[in-house]
Structure 1
Amino acid sequence: MTGSLDDFPTAVLLGIMFLIGLAADLIGRFTFLPRVTLLLLGGLALGPTGFALLPEAFLQTWFPALTNIALALIGFLLGQQVSISALRLHGAQIITISIVKVIGTWLVVAAGLFALRADPVIVLLLAAIASATAPTAIYDVVHEFRAKGEFVDTLLSVVAIDDVWGLILFILVMAATGVLAGDASIGAGVASGLREIGGSLLLGIALGIPMAYLTGRVRRGEPMLAEGMGFVLLGAGAAEWFQVSPILTAMTMGTTVASLAKHHERPFHAIEGIEWPFMILFFVLAGASLETAALEHAGFATVAYVVLRCTGIYLGARIGCRIAGADEVTRKWLGLALFPQAGVAIGMALLASQRFPDLASAILTVVLASTIFLEIFAPVVTRQALRASA
């Protein structure tokens, strides 16, 4: 070993990250800060903008794979919330709330940015991106707080499904902005988006059916952890291979298993028992990967985007809850719990930047800067909403 940070053994780096996870868990129990925020801050300190303990090569090797795995684990667990039985019981309410929330967010952000005389194409794209939430962060705050009840069930169900509506809205907006920008390849963009949604659903069902049958049948009683992890990781890898959404694929798998498996809760308990170590690595590496340089170029547009997005989410969720007949506690606190923004929004921003390279700088600066802010501070609001609704 020469003393270079690049020469740190991988085991040492992994050990440091797991110890940060332990510290985040302990601090989170005695402060108002959720462990998601603490893990992101810990990763920021370890990354290139901090003490540079995590080399770029390490981040480039581990972060993409762990992102897919983390999204798959959370997507699978969220899929349980939208099983056929759950949809029969609360389906109309959940669908109504999620659709109104997505449309409401888009309308508020679009109206606000139009009022500020921003470029129409940028306005429509940022408004669509604003509808995306961060399922991984929200789920971890719920899991850490050990929150249960009708409010939590509604929150997780909305989180599970609203990114589907958000992705559909984004595809339609990409088509509309293609017309405004004179893009002749609009049909290809729509087809690509629909392929991602349809492919994710088909892949999730194709893997979910055998998983529902086999999980718990290799041995009598509780299933082996290997069964559940095997299928979820297979789904994550297949989604990457076919270039479809890992979280939508895994969520469809979870919905299929929850709807068809005889002992449908057992595979979810198995995954819950192993997801925390993956979450530690994911959030620490996410923090280390944050490009804080974007904050240097974040101006009034980013501040306006954050304020309008949070306002739109809150109003959209509240109106959706009123239309759906949700109780007053859910009406008051659901929108606040949905503030986190992360990977889904960044993915949309990258797609928009590829389609409109002339606007890439403006779009990415706003989305990256707002994501840094919301990834760190929005989970705190989510935790307070859970505390107030309990």
Structure 2
Amino acid sequence: MIDYFHGWLSINFNQSTLNIVLMGVILSISIFADTLAKRTSVPRISILVLVGVGIAFVQQVCLGNQSGPLLDGLSEPLITLALVMVAFLLGSELKIYRLRFTGPLILVISLFVTAVSGFMVAAGLLMLKFPLAITISLAALSVATDPAAVSETIRESGDTRLRAKVLLGIVAIDDAWGIVVFGLCMAVLGWVLSSNGQQALLYAFWELGGAIVLGVLIGLPAAWLTGRLRPGEPTQVEAIAVILLLTGLSSLLDVSSLLASMVAGAMVANLSSHHTRSFREIEHIEWPFLVFFFVLSGASIDLYKVVDVVGLTVLYIILRLAGRMFGGFLAVLFIRAEQKTLPRNIGLALTPQAGIAIGMALLAAEQFPEVRDTILPVVVFSTIIFESVGPVLVRRVLNS
């Protein structure tokens, strides 16, 4: 009887079955992470990333298995799907009328904080002679913000003053700047490091230009279709179809999936009168994919090389904080008419950093695998720090 059951288990216990079980376990753990986050001050994103790190510890240290990702071939498509959803929803914030309404105040502060943050990180790492691939990658990643953390903290505070409205306007477009800056930096970096400069330059143009074209080609029919479908199941099918097409075609054509998704989202938001339907349907299904994204991101770290990047992680955190603070300070000085109402430390309220930064780190690691074991742990562990101290800094800026 024992031999019979042993034979039966050996036949049915394959990698696909294991993947299904692990996916169920990860989603189950996320429920406990939500409960823990509600009872403590620890963000659930940080808890999920730490769960992934714990899985990496079991896999690499306890079991001695470093042969591949946690879910084998499923890891990459799940991570990419989550990123495409996030970028598509970010595109929905780029409405023309909203950008006109926000005015120059939000635009100036956002650009100052973005530019100064990237410059401070790049300059600091270059002065300390870090490799160019690490320097430019981390500088590009530093400009992203976590809109959810900032918005939730402001909502809880009940603040309706100018500073709160400005911060809400900035985080609505800040990650869009991050995607654009990241795409440009990766394209330029690939060109600089390539032995064939002309070919690398053509590839950079294709990666960015092709992404914009793909976003338009998918966004236009999606915008037309959204206004002609009734809410419910047809809209769900449309939303999922758009996400799958963006994910698959971006990979097939080798263009930036983040930029293509953001462009498609912006097209739907600006051209469809019922654009909120598609975005709401995606929001309803987004979280399970983000759970996989954060857990798998933590599990992808090589723990045996974490000690080597502790100093770089601390340095990155300090440089990014300095860039946020100094960028906001310069922006407030530049807009002299608003100096009396906006705090000079407003840039610190843009400290939280989460999913989009980790996603861009994974993409950078894929493009430059030689720096994977350096970039990923730096961004993952700094994200945990920024997510933890970020809301505190937001409240401090609101109360200053």
Aligned residue in 2 for 1:14: 23
Query: 1:298 aligned to 296, 309, 320, which one?
Result: 309
- Deviations, residues 250-290 of structure 1 (Å, cap 9, x unaligned): 11111111101112222111111111111112111222112
How far residue 232 of structure 1 moved from its aligned partner, in angstroms, is 1.7
CA contact 1:134–1:343 (8 Å) conserved in 2: no
Pair 1:39 & 2:44 matched: no
Distance in 1 (CA, whole Å) between partners of 2:103 and 2:233 is: 29
Q: Secondary structure at the match of 2:306?
A: helix
Aligned residue in 2 for 1:131: 140
Aligned residue in 2 for 1:65: 77
1:25–1:140 Cα change, 3 Å: farther
Distance in 1 (CA, whole Å) between partners of 2:101 and 2:70 is: 46
Q: Secondary structure at the match of 1:158?
A: helix
Aligned residue in 2 for 1:267: 278
Aligned residue in 2 for 1:367: 375
1:68–1:194 Cα change, 3 Å: same
1:76–1:301 Cα change, 3 Å: closer
Bigger Cα displacement from structure 2, 94-103 vs 319-328: 319-328
- Deviations, residues 222-271 of structure 1 (Å, cap 9, x unaligned): 96312212112211111111111222111111111110111222211111
Distance in 2 (CA, whole Å) between partners of 1:196 and 1:146 is: 37
Query: 1:100 aligned to 83, 91, 112, which one?
Result: 112
Pair 1:206 & 2:206 matched: no
Aligned residue in 2 for 1:357: none
Aligned residue in 1 for 2:321: 310
Distance in 1 (CA, whole Å) between partners of 2:366 and 2:69 is: 22
How far residue 218 of structure 1 moved from its aligned partner, in angstroms, is 2.7
Q: What is the identity, as a one-letter code, of the residue corresponding to 2:221?
A: P
Distance in 1 (CA, whole Å) between partners of 2:186 and 2:228 is: 41
Query: 1:328 aligned to 328, 342, 350, which one?
Result: 342
How far residue 158 of structure 1 moved from its aligned partner, in angstroms, is 0.8
1:68–1:195 Cα change, 3 Å: same
Aligned residue in 2 for 1:156: 172
1:264–1:38 Cα change, 3 Å: same
Q: What is the identity, as a one-letter code, of the residue corresponding to 1:212?
A: A
Distance in 2 (CA, whole Å) between partners of 1:274 and 1:143 is: 21
Gaps of 5+ in 1: 354-359
Distance in 2 (CA, whole Å) between partners of 1:387 and 1:190 is: 44
CA contact 2:49–2:298 (8 Å) conserved in 1: yes
How far residue 156 of structure 1 moved from its aligned partner, in angstroms, is 2.9
What pairs with 1:170-189 in structure 2 (closer than 5 Å)?
170-172=186-188, 175=191, 177-178=192-193, 185-189=196-200
The percentage of counterpart residues that share the same residue type is: 27
Q: Secondary structure at the match of 1:344?
A: helix
Distance in 1 (CA, whole Å) between partners of 2:136 and 2:74 is: 31
Aligned residue in 1 for 2:38: 29
**How many residue pairs were aligned?**
373
How far residue 81 of structure 1 moved from its aligned partner, in angstroms, is 1.2
Distance in 2 (CA, whole Å) between partners of 1:188 and 1:240 is: 19
CA contact 1:109–1:305 (8 Å) conserved in 2: yes
Query: 1:217 aligned to 214, 225, 228, which one?
Result: 228
Q: What is the identity, as a one-letter code, of the residue corresponding to 1:309?
A: R
Aligned residue in 1 for 2:95: 83
Aligned residue in 1 for 2:386: 378
1:173–1:97 Cα change, 3 Å: farther
Gaps of 5+ in 2: 1-8, 157-163
How far residue 184 of structure 1 moved from its aligned partner, in angstroms, is 5.2
Q: Secondary structure at the match of 1:342?
A: helix
Distance in 1 (CA, whole Å) between partners of 2:206 and 2:35 is: 43
Distance in 1 (CA, whole Å) between partners of 2:297 and 2:133 is: 27
How far residue 144 of structure 1 moved from its aligned partner, in angstroms, is 7.1
CA contact 1:80–1:254 (8 Å) conserved in 2: yes
Distance in 1 (CA, whole Å) between partners of 2:314 and 2:73 is: 33
1:171–1:8 Cα change, 3 Å: closer
Q: What is the identity, as a one-letter code, of the residue corresponding to 2:119?
A: L
Distance in 1 (CA, whole Å) between partners of 2:216 and 2:281 is: 20
1:184–1:338 Cα change, 3 Å: same
Aligned residue in 1 for 2:6: none
Q: Secondary structure at the match of 1:337?
A: coil
Distance in 1 (CA, whole Å) between partners of 2:358 and 2:333 is: 27
Distance in 2 (CA, whole Å) between partners of 1:322 and 1:127 is: 28
Pair 1:243 & 2:259 matched: no
How far residue 191 of structure 1 moved from its aligned partner, in angstroms, is 2.4
Q: Secondary structure at the match of 1:22?
A: helix
1:130–1:258 Cα change, 3 Å: same
CA contact 1:133–1:159 (8 Å) conserved in 2: no
Bigger Cα displacement from structure 2, 281-290 vs 214-223: 214-223
Q: What is the identity, as a one-letter code, of the residue corresponding to 1:158?
A: D
Q: What is the identity, as a one-letter code, of the residue corresponding to 1:13?
A: L
Distance in 2 (CA, whole Å) between partners of 1:279 and 1:299 is: 26
TM-score (structure 1 length as normaliser):
0.81
Pair 1:197 & 2:197 matched: no
Distance in 1 (CA, whole Å) between partners of 2:286 and 2:310 is: 37
How far residue 64 of structure 1 moved from its aligned partner, in angstroms, is 0.5
CA contact 2:81–2:244 (8 Å) conserved in 1: yes
Q: Secondary structure at the match of 1:81?
A: coil
Query: 2:243 aligned to 227, 232, 235, which one?
Result: 232
